[in-house]
């Protein structure tokens, strides 16, 4: 069931009157390739991105705000995990105490 099924090889005999096929290499005549010239982009004297002191200050403030927001989210997630773990521990202690008092 799990073994692959291969097709049977072609075992039909060739007729005796059919000559074997021979291939001869064709002659290749290459033509010269001439690339089409592409017009060059006009040169500009100014840089691609201009950073002024005001834009650098804005960039730094935005990066700092992003770090603070991501940090606050990560700390709140860690706090949620810690509170959940503490509440599960308290519940386990209460259940253990109830079960222990039932045994007596």
Render pLDDT for 42-77 as a digit per residue (tens, 0 to 9): 777 766 777 888 999 999 999 999 999 999 999 999
The model carries a pTM of 0.44
Contacts of 51 (CB under 8 A, 6+ apart): 59
Closest among 83, 77, 80 to 69, alpha carbons compared = 77
């Amino acid at each position: 069931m799990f073994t692959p099924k291969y097709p049977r090889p072609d075992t039909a005999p060739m007729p005796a009157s059919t000559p074997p096929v021979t291939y001869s290499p064709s002659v290749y005549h290459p033509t010269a390739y001439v690339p089409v010239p592409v017009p060059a982009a006009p040169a500009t004297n100014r840089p691609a991105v201009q950073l002024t002191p005001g834009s650098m200050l804005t960039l730094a403030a935005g990066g700092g705000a992003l770090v603070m927001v991501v940090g606050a989210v990560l700390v709140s997630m860690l706090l949620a995990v810690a509170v959940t773990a503490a509440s599960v521990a308290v519940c386990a202690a209460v259940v253990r105490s109830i079960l222990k008092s039932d045994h007596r």
